[in-house]
Amino acid sequence: MSQNRVPQKFNPNRFAPQGKPDMKTAKRLFSYIFKDYKFSFFLVCLLIIVSTVANVASSMFLGTLIDDYITPLLQMEHPVFTGLMKALALMAVIYLSGIFSTLFYNRIMVRISQGVLKDIRNDMFSHMQKLPVKYFDTHTHGDVMSHYTNDTDTLRQMIGQSLPQMFSSIITIISVVVAMFATSLYLTLFTLIFVFVMLRVTGAVAKNSGKYFGKQQQALGDVNGYIEEMINGQKVIKVFCHENVTKEEFDQKNETLCENMTNANKFANILGPINNNLGHLQYALLAILGGAMAIGGVGGLTLGNIATFLQLSKSFNMPINQVSQQINMVVMALAGAKRIFELLDEEVEDDHGYVSLVNATYENGILTEADKRTGLWAWKHPHSDGTTTYTELKGEVVFDDVDFGYTEEKIVLHNISLYANPGEKIAFVGSTGAGKTTITNLINRFYDLADGKVRYDGININKIKKSDLRRSLGIVLQDTNLFTGTVMENIRYGKLDATDEEVIAAAKLANAHGFITRLPQGYDTPLTNNGESLSQGQRQLIAIARAAVLDPPVMILDEATSSIDTRTESLVQKGMDSLMKGRTVFVIAHRLSTIQNSDVIMVLEQGRIIERGSHEKLLEEKGKYYQLYTGSVELE
Amino acid sequence: MIKRLLGCVREYKKDSILAPLFVTMEVLLEVLIPFLMAKMVDFGINGNGGQGDFPYIVKMGILLIILCVLSLLFGVLAGKSAAIASAGFAKNLRKDMFHNVQNFSFSNIDKFSASSIVTRLTTDVTHLQNAYQMIIRVAVRSPMMLIFSLVMAFTVKADLALIFLAAVPVLAIGLYFIMTHAHPIFERVFKTYDKLNNVVQENLRGIRVVKAFVREDYEKKKFTGVAESIYSDFTKAERLLAWNAPLMQFCMYGCMLFISWVGANLIVSGSMSTGDLMGIMTYIMQILSSLMMLSMIFVMITISKASAQRTVEILNETSDIVNKKEPVSTVKDGSIIFRDVNFSYAGDSGKLCLTDIDLAINSGETVGILGGTGSSKTTLVQLIPRLYDVTSGEVLVGGVNVKEYDLDTLRNQVAMVLQKNVLFSGTIKENLRWGNETATDEELKRACELAQADGFISQFPHGYDTYIEQGGTNVSGGQKQRLCIARALLKKPKILILDDSTSAVDTHTDALIRKAFLEEIPDTTKIIIAQRISSIMEADKIIVLDDGKITGIGTHESLLRTNEIYCDIFLSQTKGGLSDVAK
C-alpha cells in the first residue's frame, strides 16, 4: 500500500472562492451550536448588540458634546459644567457596559467555538472508527486528514471570529444608518451613493484579484508538486548527475509562479489602500458638502451634526468591508463543514450480529457461561425461541461457494470453497491481485460477501458480532503498523490487560525478545512514526508478538515475514512454528519455502482456486505450483 | 539568519525600498487629512465669526481631495511594489534553496529527510513571503502612523495630547501581558495539534490493525484525551486574547471621555477650537489602532521566526562531498579497490557500519554481495560512486582515489541502480533518457532488451511513449526495476551496481538479465546485491557481509565449504530440495 506514504497532495482548488453559502450545511452547523450552547449563544448575541450600540453611541457623542454642551457653554457668561459632567458620567456608564459586553461575549464565544470544534472532532473520529475498511480504500489519507486540519481550522475561524464579527458589523450598519438618517437625510443619501460606488470599484478589483489568484494557486500547485517529486527522487538525481537539468526546469516553473503571484498580490494589495482612501475621500466630500449646507442653512445642519456625521461615516465603511470579507470566510468554512458532514454521513459498518463470544467452563460436561477468564471460550447463540446455546470456540472455518467484489460490477473472487479444520495450516499462493488477501479479509469481515457463506465453528459469520469475531482472530498484516508508544505498549495492543510477563512471553514466542532487550531502553523504548527507528524485519517481529499475545484460535499471517531476510527468517521460523501450533492458520507468503509444511496449499489465479493440495501432491501434479516452485514463472 | 534571508532580495531591492517609501508618503498624507479638517471646521464652517467662510471651505476641500487622490496613488504604488518585492523574494528564496538542495550529498539528504525538505521549500517559504510583504508594508505603516499621529496631535494641542502618555502605557502593558501569557499556551496547543494529527494519521494508516484487534474504543479514548487537552489549552489561550478588544475599547473610551471634558473646558476658556477637538479625537483613534496593529505584527513575526530558522538551515547546509581543485576527468577502467575502509554515517564519532574493508575487484568481473538485512551491503557499494565519503581508508576506482575524480565523471562511469528507486512522471523514453540525454531510439531499445524490459514495453499501447505516473505507480514492481536497470545501462558505465534491483523480477527473467550482462557488456564491472542466492551464485566473486564486516570472499563452491553464514543462507533457501535456487 504505497499510497500510505505519499504525502498529502496539494489541491489548488481547496481555497478557491466557492460561490454562495450553503444553507443546509449552515443549518446543520448551527444545530451543533444550539445543542449545548443555546443559552450562551443568545447571550452572546445580546452582548454584541450592547457592545455595538455603545460603539455607535461614542460616534454620536461628539456631536452632542459640541451642540448641546460646548456651543451653549460658549455663550454663557459663567459657564456651568455640571450638565456636561452628568453627560460624561452617562457616557462612561454606556462605555463601561460596552467594554464589559465585549469582554464577556468574546470569552463566551471562545467556549462555544472550541466546544463545538471539540464535539465535531470527537464525532468525526468516533464515526471514522465505525466506517468500513472500504471507505479507507477509496479515500486518500491526505483527504481524510484535511478534515481534521484545514476544514476544522476554517470552522474555528468562522465560529470564533467571522460569525460574531459579521453579526456586530450588521448591527453596526443598521444602527449607523438609523443614526445617520436621524442626523441628516441629505448627507445620508450622499453617503449611501458613495458607498455603492465604492463597493462597485472594490468588487471590480477583487474580481481581477480572484482571477489571478486562481492562476497563482495553479502555478503554486505545479511548483510544489515538482518540488515534492524531485526531492523524493533526490538520490536518483544525484546518481544520474541530473542536478543541472532539474535546476533549469525548476527555475522555469518558479519564474511562472513568481509572475502569477505578483499579479495576484498586486490586486489584493491595492484593495486596502483603495478602500481606505476612498473612505478619506468620502470623509472630505462630506465635510465640504456638510459645511456648505451648514453655512447655507440647508437641512438645518449644525456643526455638531457634521462632526457626528463624519464620525458615523467612518464607522460605516469599516463594517461594510468587513461583511464582504467575512462572507468569503463563511463560504469557505461552510465548504469545509460540508466536507466534514460528508464524512459524518458516511455509512458505518453494519453489524447485525447477535452471537457473542463469552468465557466458558464445562460444568458436568455441559458448556456454560463463566463470569471470569477461564481460557475457554464459547459462542453464545441466542435463538428466536428464547433459548440460548453455547458452542465451543475451536477455530473451524468453512467457505461455501463464496463470491466477492469490491464493487458490485467487478467480482474478484469466484466460487471459493474451502474447509479448515481446527489446528490446520492453510496457505494461499498466487500473484498480486489474485485475491489472497481478499479471502482473509472476508474471514474477519473487513468486507462483506457478495454471495455464498462463511462459517466459523459452524456459525454463519454474519450472525457473529463483528467485534467478537475479530477478537477471536489474530492478524499479522503485510504492512506493519505500529503506534506511538513503547514497545511494550505496542505488543500489549493485542490484549490490553496482558501483564508484562505475558507480553514478554509473546515476544519470546515471536523471537522478538532478543532484539528488544538489545534496544537502548528494552521494552520501554519509545516508538514513533510507525517505529521508524526499527528495521522492517524488527517491526514485523513486533507485529507477530502483538498477535501472539492475543492468543487467538485462528491466525491470519499475510506476508508476515516478507521483509525478513531468509537467514533471519529461518531463525524466526521456529518461533512462527510454535506460534502456529494448535491454531487454525491462514498463511499468505511470497517465499514458497515458508509454506511447504502447510496442510493445504491453495493456488489462486484471478480470484479462483486453481490448484489445491499438499506440497508433495501439487509438485506431482506439475501444474502452476510446480512452475512457481521451480522459478519458471513470475510471481508478483 | 536575517542577513542570509535578505541575501535573497537581490534584483528586488528597488521595490523593497520603494514599497515602504510609498507607504510612508501615504501615511503622511493620511495624517494631514484630520489636520486640514480641523482647519476647515475652525476657519471655514465656524469662521467669519460663526457665519462660515464658504470660499475657504472650497479651497480647503479641493486641497483635501488632492491629498486623498495622492494618498490613493501612493497606496496603490506601495501595494504594487510590495507585491513585486515579496513574490520576487519568495522566488529567489525558493530558487536558492532548491539549487542548494541539488548540491546536497546523500548524507545531507539523510540529515533532513525528504518530507522535511519539501515542507521547508513549500509551507515555510510561503510563511516567509507573507511575513516579508507584511514587514515592508504594514510593519512600516503602523509605526509611521503612530509617530506621525503623535506629532500631529502634539502640534494641534500639546497639553491635551499628553493624555497619550497615560493611555499608551496602559494599552502597551496590557497587550504585552496578554501576548506573553498567551504565546506559550499557543505553542503548547500547536504541539498538541501535532499529537492529534498523529493519532488520526496512525489510525488511517493502521485502520486494519485497529479493526482487527477491535481497538476502536481504545483509540477513541486516546483521541478524546488529546481533543480535550486541545480544547482546554485553546480555550485558555483564546480567553486571554479575548481581553484585547475590551482593553482597546477601555483606552479609547477613556481618552475620549477625558478629552471631551478637558477639551470642553479648554474651548470654553478659549484656549482651543472645536476643530482641534475633532482633529485630536481622530488622532487618538489612529494612534491606538496602530498600536493594536503593531502587537499583531509582533505576533506574526514571532510565528514566522521558526520558518526563517528552518529555511536558513537549508540555505546554510553545505555539501561535504565536493570536487577537488583539479579533478581527474577520465576513468581508466572498472577496477575497484577498498583499502582499510571504515565507515560511519555519523562521521568519526559514530557507530561503524563498515569495519576494515579490504577488497580488490578487477575490471569486468561480476561480483555478488550477500548478507542479512542490516549487514551494510548498500553502504558498501554507495562508497564506490562517492555518494558518501569513507570515514577512514580509501576507495579506488580505475586505480585512482574516488576523491580525486570530478564527481560527474565518476558517477557517469559508475552507474548505480538504487534499492529504493524512483521513476519520474513523464514518458518511458523521457525516463530512460535520464541515463543519456542524446540516446537514439535504437540505443533505448537495446538497453531495454538487455534489461529484459523491451518485451513488456512494446506490449503497452503507446510503447516507449507510455506515460509513467509520478512514482511509477502504473507499472508493476518488476517492470519498474527493469526500467531502472535499462536507464542505468544507457550511461554505458564502466561499473554497474545493482542494489537488490531484481527482487521483484522472477528468477527466470533475472537469469536472462544476468546472461545478457555477461554476453553483451563483458567489460563492465558488475556488482550485484541480492537476497536470492540464485542471483549471485555464478559470480566471479561473492562477498559475504555480516554486521559491516567481510566474513568471506570467494566463489560459490569455496564459500559453501568455508563460510558458515553463506552456508546458512544457502540452506535457508534450499530447504526441502530444489526451492528458489532451482534453475
Whole-number Å distance between alpha carbons of B73 and B215: 64
Mean of all residue pLDDT scores within chain B: 87
Rounded to a whole number, what is the distance in angstroms from the first to the last CA of chain A?
14
Chain A residues in contact with B79 (beta carbon < 8 A): 266, 268-273
Nearest to A59, CA basis, from B42, B156, B253: B253
CB contact under 8 A, A79 and B268: yes
| Helices A82-130, A23-64: inter-axial angle, 10-degree rounding | 170
Mean pLDDT of A165-179: 89
CB contact under 8 A, B76 and A471: no
Partnered with residue B394 across adjacent β-strands are B339
User: Which tens digits make up the pLDDT trace of B113-162?
Assistant: 777 888 889 888 988 998 898 889 888 888 999 899 989 888 888 888 88
Let me know whether B282 and B344 are in one domain.
Answer: no
Mean pLDDT of B499-525: 86
Give percent above pLDDT 70 in chain A. Answer: 94
> Does residue A1 register a pLDDT over 50?
no
CA angle B311, B312, B313 (to 5 degrees): 90
> Which among A126, A227, A593 has the least Cβ separation from residue B98?
A227
Secondary structure in 3-state letters for B145-179: HHHHHHHHHHHHCHHHHCHHHHHHHHHHHHHHHHH
Whole-number Å distance between alpha carbons of A10 and B472: 19
Let me know whether B256 and B386 are in one domain.
Answer: no
Let me know whether B288 and B386 are in one domain.
Answer: no
Let me know whether B277 and B130 are in one domain.
Answer: yes
Q: Which residues contact A617 (CB under 8 A, 6 or more apart)?
A: none
Let me know whether B421 and B561 are in one domain.
Answer: yes
- Per DSSP, the three-state class of B242 is coil
- Please count the CA atoms within 13 angstroms of the CA of B335 that sit on its side-chain side: 10
B33 CB within 8 Å of a chain A CB: yes
pLDDT at A21: 62
User: Taking the CB of residue B400, how many other CB atoms lie within 10 A of it?
Assistant: 15
Let me know whether B292 and B376 are in one domain.
Answer: no
Whole-number Å distance between alpha carbons of A61 and A44: 25
Q: Please report where in the chains the cell 456643526 appears, as a residue.
A: A303
- Per DSSP, the three-state class of A552 is coil
Q: What is the DSSP letter of A507?
A: H
Nearest to B329, CA basis, from B237, B436, B405, B259: B405
Supply the pTM of this predicted model. 0.77
Mean of all residue pLDDT scores within chain A: 83
Nearest to B366, CA basis, from B579, B479, B514, B218: B514
User: Could you give phi then psi for residue B188, rounded to 5 degrees?
Assistant: -65, -40
> Does residue A6 register a pLDDT over 60?
no
> Does residue A13 register a pLDDT over 70?
no
Task: Please provide the size of chain B in residues.
Answer: 583
Helix (H) or strand (E) holding A453: strand A451-456
> Does residue A11 register a pLDDT over 50?
no
CB contact under 8 A, B246 and A99: yes
Task: Name the closest residue on chain B to residue A476, using Cα atoms.
Answer: B209
CB contact under 8 A, A288 and B478: no
CB contact under 8 A, A537 and B373: yes
> Which among A241, A250, A432 has the least Cβ separation from residue B411?
A241
Give percent above pLDDT 70 in chain B. Answer: 97
> Which among A10, A141, A470 has the least Cβ separation from residue B214?
A470
Q: Which residues numbered 225-254 in B keep a CB inside 8 Å of some CB on A?
A: 227-228, 230-231, 234-235, 238-239, 241-243, 245-246, 249-250, 252-253
User: Which tens digits make up the pLDDT trace of A41-79?
Assistant: 999 999 999 999 888 888 788 778 888 888 888 888 888
Residue B535 located in a structural domain: yes
pLDDT at A20: 58
pLDDT at A521: 85
Mean pLDDT of A192-199: 87
Residue B321 located in a structural domain: no
Last residue of a domain, one of B251, B284, B316: B316
> Does residue B546 register a pLDDT over 80?
yes
> Does residue B270 register a pLDDT over 90?
no
Let me know whether B311 and B392 are in one domain.
Answer: no
Q: Are A284 and A39 in contact (CB under 8 A)?
A: no
- Amino acid in the structure at residue B412: N
Whole-number Å distance between alpha carbons of A427 and A442: 15
How far does B436 lie from chain A, in Å, by closest CA?
9
pLDDT at B342: 92
Sign of the dihedral through C-alpha B200, B206, B212, B215: negative
Residue B324 located in a structural domain: no
User: Could you give phi then psi for residue B467, rounded to 5 degrees?
Assistant: -85, 125
B208 CB within 8 Å of a chain A CB: yes
For residue A240, name the pLDDT band (cuts at 50, 70, 90). confident
Residue B269 located in a structural domain: yes
| E-state strands within B55-113 | none
Last residue of a domain, one of B316, B349, B380: B316
Mean pLDDT of A321-345: 83
> Does residue A104 register a pLDDT over 90?
yes
Q: Which residues numbered 510-569 in B keep a CB inside 8 Å of some CB on A?
A: 531, 534, 565, 568-569
User: Which tens digits make up the pLDDT trace of B60-71?
Assistant: 888 888 998 999
How far does A291 lie from chain B, in Å, by closest CA?
6
Chain B residues in contact with A350 (beta carbon < 8 A): none
B61 CB within 8 Å of a chain A CB: yes
pLDDT at A433: 67
Among B46, B68, B414, pick the best mutation site for testing chain A contact (most A Cβ within 10 A): B68
> Does residue A14 register a pLDDT over 70?
no
> Does residue A19 register a pLDDT over 60?
no
User: Could you give phi then psi for residue A541, rounded to 5 degrees?
Assistant: -65, -40
> Which among A129, A243, A633 has the least Cβ separation from residue B219?
A129
pLDDT at A3: 32
Q: A301 or A381: which carries more pLDDT confidence?
A: A381
C-alpha cell at B186: 499557543
CATH of the domain at B569: 3.40.50.300
Number of domains in chain B: 2
Partnered with residue B370 across adjacent β-strands are B544
C-alpha cell at A577: 512454528
CB contact under 8 A, B374 and A567: no
- Please count the CA atoms within 13 angstroms of the CA of B274 that sit on its side-chain side: 28
CB contact under 8 A, A223 and B106: no
pLDDT at A7: 34
User: Which tens digits make up the pLDDT trace of B547-582?
Assistant: 889 999 999 999 999 998 888 888 877 654 444 433
CB contact under 8 A, A481 and B478: no
How far does A444 lie from chain B, in Å, by closest CA?
7
Q: Are A405 and A432 in contact (CB under 8 A)?
A: no
A481 CB within 8 Å of a chain B CB: yes
pLDDT at A10: 37
Q: What is the DSSP letter of A413?
A: E
Q: Which residues numbered 489-508 in B keep a CB inside 8 Å of some CB on A?
A: 491, 504-508
Whole-number Å distance between alpha carbons of A428 and A620: 18
Let me know whether B303 and B347 are in one domain.
Answer: no
- Amino acid in the structure at residue A418: L
Rounded to a whole number, what is the distance in angstroms from the first to the last CA of chain B?
62
Nearest to A576, CA basis, from A515, A512, A510: A510
Task: Name the closest residue on chain B to residue A104, using Cα atoms.
Answer: B242
Chain A residues in contact with B70 (beta carbon < 8 A): none
Whole-number Å distance between alpha carbons of B41 and A123: 61
Let me know whether B301 and B406 are in one domain.
Answer: no
Partnered with residue A451 across adjacent β-strands are A403
A467 CB within 8 Å of a chain B CB: yes
pLDDT at A279: 84
Task: Please provide the size of chain A in residues.
Answer: 636
Give the gyration radius of chain A's Cα atoms: 36
CATH of the domain at B26: 1.20.1560.10
User: Taking the CB of residue A260, how many other CB atoms lie within 10 A of it?
Assistant: 21
Let me know whether B306 and B350 are in one domain.
Answer: no
Task: Name the closest residue on chain A to residue B282, using Cα atoms.
Answer: A311
Q: Write the Ramachandran bin of A518: left for phi over 0, alpha for psi from -120 to 50, otherwise beta.
A: alpha
Residue B322 located in a structural domain: no
Please give the biggest Cα pair distance in chain B: 122
Chain B residues in contact with A288 (beta carbon < 8 A): 57-58, 61, 64
Kindly compute the dihedral angle of the four CA atoms of residues B358, B363, B364, B367, in this order, to the nearest 10 degrees: 10
Q: Are A419 and A398 in contact (CB under 8 A)?
A: yes
A595-621 burial: b if 16+ Cβ within 10 Å, else e: bbbbbbbbbbeebebebbbebeebbee
Whole-number Å distance between alpha carbons of B287 and B290: 5
Whole-number Å distance between alpha carbons of A519 and A524: 9
Nearest to B224, CA basis, from A124, A122, A112: A122
User: Could you give phi then psi for residue A480, rounded to 5 degrees?
Assistant: -80, 130
Residue B329 located in a structural domain: no
For residue A8, name the pLDDT band (cuts at 50, 70, 90). very low
Q: Which residues numbered 483-502 in A keep a CB inside 8 Å of some CB on B?
A: 483-484, 493-494, 496
Residue B427 located in a structural domain: yes
Let me know whether B441 and B309 are in one domain.
Answer: no
Chain B residues in contact with A467 (beta carbon < 8 A): 214, 216
Q: Are A478 and A540 in contact (CB under 8 A)?
A: no
Q: Are A124 and A135 in contact (CB under 8 A)?
A: no
Let me know whether B493 and B350 are in one domain.
Answer: yes
Whole-number Å distance between alpha carbons of B454 and B486: 9
- Amino acid in the structure at residue A127: H
Partnered with residue A602 across adjacent β-strands are A428, A612
- Amino acid in the structure at residue A394: K
Nearest to B508, CA basis, from A484, A70, A627, A287: A627
Residue B251 located in a structural domain: yes
For residue A632, name the pLDDT band (cuts at 50, 70, 90). low
Q: Please report where in the chains the cell 465669526 appears, as a residue.
A: B49
Among A231, A479, A530, A558, pick the best mutation site for testing chain B contact (most B Cβ within 10 A): A231
pLDDT at A203: 82
Last residue of a domain, one of B262, B285, B316: B316
pLDDT at A4: 32
> Does residue A424 register a pLDDT over 80?
yes
Q: Which residues numbered 344-403 in A keep a CB inside 8 Å of some CB on B?
A: none
- Please count the CA atoms within 13 angstroms of the CA of A419 that sit on its side-chain side: 3
C-alpha cell at A56: 455607535
> Does residue A254 register a pLDDT over 70?
yes
Residue range of the domain that includes B352: 336-582
Partnered with residue A507 across adjacent β-strands are none
For residue B415, name the pLDDT band (cuts at 50, 70, 90). very high
For residue A5, name the pLDDT band (cuts at 50, 70, 90). very low
Chain B residues in contact with A536 (beta carbon < 8 A): 373
Q: What is the DSSP letter of A350?
A: P
Whole-number Å distance between alpha carbons of B259 and B261: 5
How far does CA A441 lie from the centroid of its chain?
25
Partnered with residue A588 across adjacent β-strands are A428, A558
> Does residue B46 register a pLDDT over 80?
no
